[in-house]
Structure 1
Amino acid sequence: MSQHDGLPEFEAFYEKEWGSVVAFLRYLGASPPDAQDVAQDAFAHLYRCWHRVDTPTAWIRKTASRELGHRRRRAATEQKALDANPPPDEAEDGDEGGAASIYTDDRFTAAIAALSARQRQVVAWRLAGFSNAETARELGMTPENTSAMWSRAKARLAKALEEFRRGNGGDNA
Protein backbone atom coordinates (compact mmCIF):
# COMPACT_ATOMS: atom_id res chain seq x y z
CA MET A 1 0.00 0.00 0.00
CA SER A 2 1.45 3.37 -0.93
CA GLN A 3 1.36 6.35 1.40
CA HIS A 4 -1.36 8.02 -0.67
CA ASP A 5 -3.77 5.05 -0.94
CA GLY A 6 -5.63 6.34 2.11
CA LEU A 7 -6.04 9.87 0.77
CA PRO A 8 -9.87 9.81 0.52
CA GLU A 9 -10.11 8.50 4.10
CA PHE A 10 -7.62 11.08 5.31
CA GLU A 11 -9.51 13.90 3.57
CA ALA A 12 -12.78 12.76 5.14
CA PHE A 13 -11.10 12.58 8.56
CA TYR A 14 -9.60 16.05 8.09
CA GLU A 15 -12.97 17.56 7.13
CA LYS A 16 -14.69 15.89 10.07
CA GLU A 17 -12.05 16.62 12.73
CA TRP A 18 -10.48 19.97 11.79
CA GLY A 19 -12.82 22.15 13.83
CA SER A 20 -12.82 19.87 16.85
CA VAL A 21 -9.02 19.72 16.92
CA VAL A 22 -8.83 23.53 16.81
CA ALA A 23 -11.40 23.67 19.64
CA PHE A 24 -9.37 21.06 21.58
CA LEU A 25 -6.30 23.30 21.34
CA ARG A 26 -8.37 26.31 22.44
CA TYR A 27 -9.43 24.29 25.50
CA LEU A 28 -5.73 23.87 26.21
CA GLY A 29 -5.40 27.67 26.19
CA ALA A 30 -4.09 28.30 22.67
CA SER A 31 -5.05 31.54 20.94
CA PRO A 32 -7.19 31.09 17.80
CA PRO A 33 -4.26 31.63 15.38
CA ASP A 34 -1.95 29.35 17.38
CA ALA A 35 -4.64 26.66 17.58
CA GLN A 36 -5.05 26.74 13.81
CA ASP A 37 -1.29 26.66 13.17
CA VAL A 38 -0.72 23.76 15.56
CA ALA A 39 -3.70 21.84 14.18
CA GLN A 40 -2.41 22.27 10.64
CA ASP A 41 1.03 21.00 11.63
CA ALA A 42 -0.49 18.00 13.43
CA PHE A 43 -2.64 17.11 10.41
CA ALA A 44 0.40 17.40 8.13
CA HIS A 45 2.26 15.00 10.40
CA LEU A 46 -0.73 12.64 10.44
CA TYR A 47 -0.88 12.69 6.65
CA ARG A 48 2.72 11.52 6.45
CA CYS A 49 2.02 8.50 8.68
CA TRP A 50 -1.72 7.99 8.01
CA HIS A 51 -1.32 4.34 6.98
CA ARG A 52 0.40 3.49 10.31
CA VAL A 53 -2.06 5.17 12.72
CA ASP A 54 -4.73 2.94 14.26
CA THR A 55 -6.65 5.54 16.29
CA PRO A 56 -6.40 8.85 14.42
CA THR A 57 -8.94 10.68 16.63
CA ALA A 58 -6.79 10.27 19.73
CA TRP A 59 -3.49 10.42 17.80
CA ILE A 60 -4.21 13.85 16.29
CA ARG A 61 -5.08 15.34 19.68
CA LYS A 62 -2.06 13.86 21.42
CA THR A 63 0.23 15.09 18.64
CA ALA A 64 -1.38 18.56 18.62
CA SER A 65 -1.12 18.79 22.41
CA ARG A 66 2.57 17.89 22.30
CA GLU A 67 3.25 20.39 19.51
CA LEU A 68 1.50 23.13 21.49
CA GLY A 69 3.69 22.30 24.48
CA HIS A 70 6.84 22.42 22.34
CA ARG A 71 5.83 25.79 20.93
CA ARG A 72 5.13 27.19 24.40
CA ARG A 73 8.51 26.04 25.69
CA ARG A 74 10.25 27.58 22.67
CA ALA A 75 8.33 30.82 23.15
CA ALA A 76 9.23 30.91 26.86
CA THR A 77 12.90 30.38 26.03
CA GLU A 78 12.77 33.13 23.42
CA GLN A 79 10.99 35.44 25.87
CA LYS A 80 13.68 34.84 28.51
CA ALA A 81 16.33 35.77 25.97
CA LEU A 82 14.41 38.94 25.05
CA ASP A 83 13.87 39.82 28.71
CA ALA A 84 17.59 39.46 29.36
CA ASN A 85 18.49 41.62 26.38
CA PRO A 86 15.41 43.58 25.20
CA PRO A 87 15.46 45.61 22.01
CA PRO A 88 15.73 49.35 22.85
CA ASP A 89 12.20 50.27 21.72
CA GLU A 90 10.61 47.49 23.85
CA ALA A 91 12.77 48.11 26.90
CA GLU A 92 11.43 51.63 27.30
CA ASP A 93 7.70 51.17 26.75
CA GLY A 94 6.99 49.81 30.24
CA ASP A 95 4.80 46.99 28.96
CA GLU A 96 5.35 44.04 31.25
CA GLY A 97 2.98 41.75 29.29
CA GLY A 98 4.57 38.44 30.13
CA ALA A 99 3.30 34.95 29.52
CA ALA A 100 -0.10 35.63 31.11
CA SER A 101 -0.92 38.32 28.52
CA ILE A 102 -1.35 35.72 25.77
CA TYR A 103 -4.31 34.31 27.67
CA THR A 104 -6.28 37.53 28.08
CA ASP A 105 -7.62 37.89 24.55
CA ASP A 106 -11.12 36.79 25.66
CA ARG A 107 -13.09 35.55 28.66
CA PHE A 108 -12.90 31.91 27.67
CA THR A 109 -9.14 31.90 27.26
CA ALA A 110 -8.69 33.81 30.52
CA ALA A 111 -10.85 31.28 32.38
CA ILE A 112 -8.94 28.37 30.84
CA ALA A 113 -5.63 30.00 31.77
CA ALA A 114 -6.71 30.01 35.42
CA LEU A 115 -6.57 26.22 35.41
CA SER A 116 -3.45 24.19 35.97
CA ALA A 117 -1.81 22.74 32.86
CA ARG A 118 -3.01 19.24 33.83
CA GLN A 119 -6.58 20.49 34.36
CA ARG A 120 -6.49 22.12 30.90
CA GLN A 121 -5.43 18.78 29.43
CA VAL A 122 -8.30 16.94 31.10
CA VAL A 123 -10.80 19.64 30.06
CA ALA A 124 -9.59 19.54 26.46
CA TRP A 125 -9.87 15.76 26.18
CA ARG A 126 -13.27 15.61 27.90
CA LEU A 127 -14.73 18.48 25.86
CA ALA A 128 -13.42 16.76 22.74
CA GLY A 129 -15.80 13.91 23.55
CA PHE A 130 -13.42 11.40 25.10
CA SER A 131 -14.70 9.39 28.06
CA ASN A 132 -13.11 9.56 31.48
CA ALA A 133 -11.39 6.21 30.87
CA GLU A 134 -10.12 7.26 27.42
CA THR A 135 -8.85 10.57 28.81
CA ALA A 136 -7.07 8.79 31.65
CA ARG A 137 -5.43 6.35 29.24
CA GLU A 138 -4.25 9.05 26.82
CA LEU A 139 -2.88 11.26 29.60
CA GLY A 140 -1.33 8.42 31.62
CA MET A 141 -3.54 9.04 34.65
CA THR A 142 -5.88 6.89 36.70
CA PRO A 143 -9.59 7.25 35.93
CA GLU A 144 -10.15 8.39 39.53
CA ASN A 145 -7.61 11.21 39.19
CA THR A 146 -9.03 12.21 35.83
CA SER A 147 -12.55 12.34 37.24
CA ALA A 148 -11.45 14.42 40.23
CA MET A 149 -9.46 16.79 38.00
CA TRP A 150 -12.46 17.17 35.64
CA SER A 151 -14.76 18.04 38.57
CA ARG A 152 -12.33 20.59 40.02
CA ALA A 153 -11.71 22.15 36.61
CA LYS A 154 -15.43 22.54 35.90
CA ALA A 155 -15.92 24.17 39.29
CA ARG A 156 -13.01 26.58 38.72
CA LEU A 157 -14.24 27.47 35.25
CA ALA A 158 -17.76 28.13 36.52
CA LYS A 159 -16.41 30.32 39.32
CA ALA A 160 -14.06 32.26 37.01
CA LEU A 161 -16.80 32.96 34.49
CA GLU A 162 -19.28 33.96 37.21
CA GLU A 163 -16.73 36.35 38.75
CA PHE A 164 -16.15 37.87 35.34
CA ARG A 165 -19.89 38.35 34.76
CA ARG A 166 -20.31 40.01 38.17
CA GLY A 167 -17.16 42.13 37.95
CA ASN A 168 -17.48 43.25 34.35
CA GLY A 169 -21.17 42.88 33.74
CA GLY A 170 -20.24 40.68 30.79
CA ASP A 171 -19.96 43.77 28.56
CA ASN A 172 -16.99 46.01 27.96
CA ALA A 173 -18.63 48.11 25.23
Structure 2
Amino acid sequence: MADGNDFDEFYRSTRHRVVTVLYALGGNLPDAQDAAQEAYARAWQRWSRVGGYADPEAWVRTVGHRIQINRWRKVRNGLTAYRRHGPQPAVEPPSENTLALVTALRRLPAEQREAIVLHHLVDLPVTAVATQLGVSANTVKTRLARGRRALAQLVGDVLPEESVNA
Protein backbone atom coordinates (compact mmCIF):
# COMPACT_ATOMS: atom_id res chain seq x y z
CA MET A 1 0.00 0.00 0.00
CA ALA A 2 1.59 3.23 -1.08
CA ASP A 3 -0.74 5.64 -2.89
CA GLY A 4 -3.77 7.73 -1.91
CA ASN A 5 -6.31 5.25 -3.28
CA ASP A 6 -4.77 2.56 -1.11
CA PHE A 7 -5.16 4.79 1.93
CA ASP A 8 -8.82 5.46 1.13
CA GLU A 9 -9.50 1.73 0.90
CA PHE A 10 -7.50 1.11 4.09
CA TYR A 11 -9.49 3.77 5.94
CA ARG A 12 -12.88 2.48 4.75
CA SER A 13 -12.06 -1.09 5.69
CA THR A 14 -10.55 -0.40 9.13
CA ARG A 15 -12.18 2.69 10.64
CA HIS A 16 -15.00 0.87 12.39
CA ARG A 17 -12.67 -1.65 14.05
CA VAL A 18 -10.21 1.04 15.15
CA VAL A 19 -12.92 3.21 16.71
CA THR A 20 -14.45 0.15 18.40
CA VAL A 21 -11.10 -0.86 19.93
CA LEU A 22 -10.37 2.69 21.10
CA TYR A 23 -13.88 2.96 22.54
CA ALA A 24 -13.36 -0.31 24.42
CA LEU A 25 -10.00 0.89 25.73
CA GLY A 26 -11.17 4.33 26.77
CA GLY A 27 -14.86 3.94 27.48
CA ASN A 28 -15.84 7.18 25.76
CA LEU A 29 -17.09 7.13 22.17
CA PRO A 30 -16.47 10.80 21.27
CA ASP A 31 -12.91 10.55 22.64
CA ALA A 32 -12.37 7.33 20.70
CA GLN A 33 -13.61 8.96 17.51
CA ASP A 34 -11.36 11.99 18.03
CA ALA A 35 -8.32 9.82 18.75
CA ALA A 36 -9.02 7.64 15.70
CA GLN A 37 -9.40 10.69 13.50
CA GLU A 38 -6.08 12.07 14.70
CA ALA A 39 -4.38 8.69 14.26
CA TYR A 40 -5.69 8.33 10.71
CA ALA A 41 -4.55 11.87 9.89
CA ARG A 42 -1.06 10.98 11.09
CA ALA A 43 -1.14 7.74 9.10
CA TRP A 44 -2.18 9.61 5.97
CA GLN A 45 0.70 12.07 6.40
CA ARG A 46 3.14 9.13 6.63
CA TRP A 47 1.30 6.77 4.28
CA SER A 48 4.32 6.06 2.08
CA ARG A 49 5.95 4.47 5.15
CA VAL A 50 2.96 3.26 7.18
CA GLY A 51 1.31 1.72 4.12
CA GLY A 52 4.29 -0.59 3.74
CA TYR A 53 4.01 -2.03 7.25
CA ALA A 54 2.80 -5.61 7.65
CA ASP A 55 -0.18 -4.34 9.73
CA PRO A 56 -0.88 -0.60 9.24
CA GLU A 57 -4.09 -0.98 11.24
CA ALA A 58 -2.05 -1.94 14.30
CA TRP A 59 0.00 1.23 13.83
CA VAL A 60 -3.18 3.35 13.72
CA ARG A 61 -4.62 1.59 16.80
CA THR A 62 -1.37 2.11 18.72
CA VAL A 63 -1.16 5.78 17.78
CA GLY A 64 -4.85 6.28 18.64
CA HIS A 65 -4.39 4.66 22.03
CA ARG A 66 -1.34 6.80 22.76
CA ILE A 67 -3.35 9.90 21.84
CA GLN A 68 -6.02 8.83 24.34
CA ILE A 69 -3.42 8.22 27.04
CA ASN A 70 -1.84 11.63 26.46
CA ARG A 71 -5.24 13.30 26.79
CA TRP A 72 -5.90 11.43 30.03
CA ARG A 73 -2.51 12.53 31.36
CA LYS A 74 -3.28 16.15 30.57
CA VAL A 75 -6.59 15.94 32.39
CA ARG A 76 -5.01 14.12 35.35
CA ASN A 77 -2.15 16.65 35.56
CA GLY A 78 -4.64 19.50 35.40
CA LEU A 79 -6.63 18.00 38.26
CA THR A 80 -3.46 17.43 40.26
CA ALA A 81 -2.43 21.05 39.76
CA TYR A 82 -5.91 22.23 40.71
CA ARG A 83 -5.84 20.17 43.90
CA ARG A 84 -2.37 21.41 44.76
CA HIS A 85 -3.00 25.09 44.10
CA GLY A 86 -6.76 25.33 44.55
CA PRO A 87 -9.07 27.54 42.58
CA GLN A 88 -7.95 30.90 41.29
CA PRO A 89 -8.69 33.72 43.73
CA ALA A 90 -11.81 35.68 42.95
CA VAL A 91 -11.22 38.75 40.84
CA GLU A 92 -12.42 42.00 42.30
CA PRO A 93 -15.09 43.76 40.27
CA PRO A 94 -13.89 46.78 38.31
CA SER A 95 -13.98 50.10 40.10
CA GLU A 96 -16.37 52.88 39.14
CA ASN A 97 -13.45 54.79 37.61
CA THR A 98 -12.49 51.81 35.47
CA LEU A 99 -16.06 51.45 34.25
CA ALA A 100 -16.22 55.16 33.49
CA LEU A 101 -12.97 54.99 31.52
CA VAL A 102 -14.07 51.94 29.53
CA THR A 103 -17.43 53.56 28.80
CA ALA A 104 -15.71 56.72 27.61
CA LEU A 105 -13.17 54.77 25.50
CA ARG A 106 -16.01 52.93 23.77
CA ARG A 107 -17.46 56.25 22.66
CA LEU A 108 -14.22 57.36 20.97
CA PRO A 109 -13.61 56.68 17.28
CA ALA A 110 -11.72 53.40 16.83
CA GLU A 111 -8.53 55.07 15.58
CA GLN A 112 -8.29 57.36 18.60
CA ARG A 113 -9.17 54.55 21.00
CA GLU A 114 -6.45 52.28 19.54
CA ALA A 115 -3.82 55.02 19.79
CA ILE A 116 -4.75 55.88 23.39
CA VAL A 117 -4.89 52.28 24.57
CA LEU A 118 -1.61 51.29 22.93
CA HIS A 119 0.25 54.41 24.07
CA HIS A 120 -1.17 54.94 27.57
CA LEU A 121 -2.33 51.50 28.71
CA VAL A 122 0.17 49.24 26.92
CA ASP A 123 2.86 51.92 27.37
CA LEU A 124 4.20 51.77 23.81
CA PRO A 125 6.15 54.74 22.47
CA VAL A 126 4.55 56.73 19.65
CA THR A 127 6.84 55.14 17.05
CA ALA A 128 5.84 51.62 18.13
CA VAL A 129 2.15 52.56 18.03
CA ALA A 130 2.67 53.96 14.54
CA THR A 131 4.35 50.76 13.41
CA GLN A 132 1.62 48.56 14.88
CA LEU A 133 -1.18 50.62 13.35
CA GLY A 134 0.61 51.10 10.03
CA VAL A 135 0.45 54.90 10.12
CA SER A 136 2.97 57.71 10.57
CA ALA A 137 4.10 58.95 13.98
CA ASN A 138 2.46 62.32 13.28
CA THR A 139 -0.85 60.59 12.63
CA VAL A 140 -0.55 58.83 15.98
CA LYS A 141 0.24 62.13 17.72
CA THR A 142 -2.83 63.72 16.13
CA ARG A 143 -5.04 60.80 17.15
CA LEU A 144 -3.66 60.95 20.69
CA ALA A 145 -4.28 64.68 21.01
CA ARG A 146 -7.83 64.48 19.66
CA GLY A 147 -8.56 61.35 21.66
CA ARG A 148 -7.32 62.88 24.93
CA ARG A 149 -9.50 65.98 24.42
CA ALA A 150 -12.57 63.87 23.67
CA LEU A 151 -11.79 61.47 26.51
CA ALA A 152 -11.49 64.30 29.04
CA GLN A 153 -14.96 65.51 28.13
CA LEU A 154 -16.44 62.01 28.08
CA VAL A 155 -14.92 60.96 31.41
CA GLY A 156 -16.29 64.11 33.00
CA ASP A 157 -19.74 63.15 31.69
CA VAL A 158 -19.69 59.54 32.95
CA LEU A 159 -17.78 59.74 36.25
CA PRO A 160 -19.97 59.65 39.35
CA GLU A 161 -20.38 63.02 41.06
CA GLU A 162 -18.32 62.04 44.14
CA SER A 163 -15.36 60.90 41.99
CA VAL A 164 -15.15 64.26 40.22
CA ASN A 165 -15.21 66.21 43.48
CA ALA A 166 -12.77 63.94 45.31
- Per the normalisation by structure 1, the TM-score is 0.45
